[in-house]
Structure 1
Amino acid sequence: MRGNWVRLLSDFIFGFIKLALVLLISKLYLLIKNKDIWLVCERPDESRDNGYHFFRHIKLHHPEVRIYYVISPESADYAKTAQLGPVVHWGSFKHYLYWCLAKCVVSAHPGDCSPEPRLGWRLKGMGLIRHISANIKHGVIAINLPDYHTQTGSQQLNLVSCASPREMQFLEEVGGYRQETLQLLGLCRFDALHETVDTRRQVLFMPTWRRWFRGLVEKHGRQEAMRMFRDSDYFQAYSTFLNSKRLHAVLERTGYDLIFYPHHGVQEYLEAFGETHSRITIADRHHYDVQQLLKESAVLISDFSSVSFDFAYMGKPMVYLLPDEERYFSDHFQRGYFDFDHDGFGPVARDPDAAVDALEAILIRGRSSEKHQQRVEAFFPLRDSANCERTFQAIQKIVDG
Structure 2
Amino acid sequence: MSEGDSTVERIGPLRRVMHGRDPDEAHRASTPLELLFDLTFVVAVSQAAAQLHHALAEGHVGAGLAGYAAVFFAIWWAWMNFTWFASAYDTDDVPYRLLTLLQMAGVLVLAAGVPRAFRHGDFAIVVVGYVIMRVAILTQWLRAAAEHPEGRGGALRYAAGIVVVQVGWIARLWAPGIWAPLTFVVLVAAELAVPAWAEYRGSATHWHPEHITERYSLFTIIVLGEVILASFAAVQSAVSAHGLSPSVLLIVMGGLFLVFALWWIYFTGSDAHLSALRTALTWGYGHYVVFAALAALGAGLEAALDAAEHHGHLSARTGGLAVAIPTAIVLVVLGVLHRVTGTGAVGRGWLVAVGVLVVLALGFSPPVLGVGGAVLGIGLAVAATLAANLAVFRHRAVAAR
Question: Normalised by the size of structure 2, how large is the TM-score?
Answer: 0.28
Question: Normalised by the size of structure 1, how large is the TM-score?
Answer: 0.28
Bigger share in helix: 2
